[in-house]
Structure 1
Amino acid sequence: MFTVFIVVIAIIAVLLVLIVLVQNSKGGGLAGEFGGSGASQMFGVKRTTDLLEQITWGLAGAMAILALVSHLFIGEPQAAGGINSVNVEKANQRSLPSAPAPTTPAPATTPAPAQQPAQK
């Protein structure tokens, strides 16, 4: 169901871009490419700019609502399971090497003095 929301949002986004490009801005926009004043008769209504503005707001609102509603279909993260990965499972199965038992240091010994041969 989440995929359906994503596809519908993508379609609305493309339509929104096209509608915004068709609108007549101060610079003319793509509406000027259709013959200037002829663009106002393209949809069969007298005030095309009002219709295009309403369509723009409707598509933007629909996209915002669908984006918020799609959050409900994402699914809850697995709280008990955590991250499921082969690497995580292997790490959990391995045991850490145990530290060597502490040993008491051997008492320091001083080397015995070298014995000189006895003289006769």
Structure 2
Amino acid sequence: MANAAPTTSGIEPLDTTLSPSALVATAPTKIARVLAYLLDPDQSLMRFEASRLVGDTALNSTISKLANDYGLLFERTPELAQNSWGAPTPVVRYRLPSAQHQRARNVLQMLFSRRSKARH
């Protein structure tokens, strides 16, 4: 990221001054966009919102990858949402608890640094 100074490891630290929406806008991958979006403590996502807000059409798979591959824990709340035909459909709303934010920032740092390495 442009405002971040390189560390001794050569990996740019994640610019913590960026808002979650700025992180979403600059995220290098779908998984990074979802994670950046959920780092905002006021935000949560369910499958119908994810497509529109972060470009994810398979939110359950993205959350599974974040949980299984990166060890993140999510709050999962079942709810009913209106589908395209107006009928109620069971969905799961995902939220990243504040206790997971530091781990999530570390994962996001890694995802952003992969993009930075790919450019060089």
- Output the TM-score relative to the length of structure 1: 0.29
Which has a greater percent of strand?
Answer: 2
Which has a greater percent of helix?
Answer: 1
Q: Which has the larger radius of gyration?
A: 1
